[in-house]
Amino acid sequence: MISETKTVLLSTAYLAPVEYYLLMNTHQQVIIEQHCNYVKQTYRNRCIIASANGLQTLSIPIVKPDSPKCPTKDIRIAEHGNWRHLHWNAIVSAYNSTPFFEYYADDFRPFYEKQPEFLFDFNEQLRTLVCSLLDISPAISYSSEYIQNTKPDEMDFREAIHPKKAPVTKDLKPYYQVFEHKYGFQANLSIIDLLFNMGTEAILELRPDCFGQAL
């Protein structure tokens, strides 16, 4: 079990997976890295949801940085592709039949009706909302520079939580999913999957006794 006395280092993430919020809820301090170089094909600009046709990845388009090494905090969101409309329609299509979609829809809809400028800020605004809906209050701070060397009481998951890697927490506890009868339980999807399916009971899935040993 991960000790609650530890500090956890995380990267920014768009509607991050369940394990991201589990880690925030089981550590006393959370440091979100904002000075790392932006890396493509990570949770920084994408999330994975469960649709009627299986898993679906939603990716936020970004403005190509001027140099190969650009701090994540400086990454701007591109407006091409009508992504906000497409993302919200995909979320509605995937979750409008879940028990709690109507309960939370008005909280999320406004994020897809404005034009965010910076990816980091957009992610953090969504994270703040999700923490409020989950009723968790992690002690969040942001890196003032890139953290190269972690301290003994810090656990670094900045690059470990990744769409192409196994979850960093073992045996994530299954919960009700509306499409489970078609595909079986699909673990570690975007936190909205947990919220829309479980509602106020979502927090019960983020307790320390709901997961096994960390990597």
pLDDT tens across 132-144, in order? 999 999 999 999 9
First to last CA, the chain: 10
| β-bridge pairing 154-156 and 139-142 | unpaired
Q: How confident is the model at residue 67 (pLDDT cuts 50, 70, 90)?
A: confident
Average pLDDT, the chain: 92
Global pTM reads: 0.93
The CA distances from residue 183 to 32, 139, 179, in Å, are 33, 36, 6
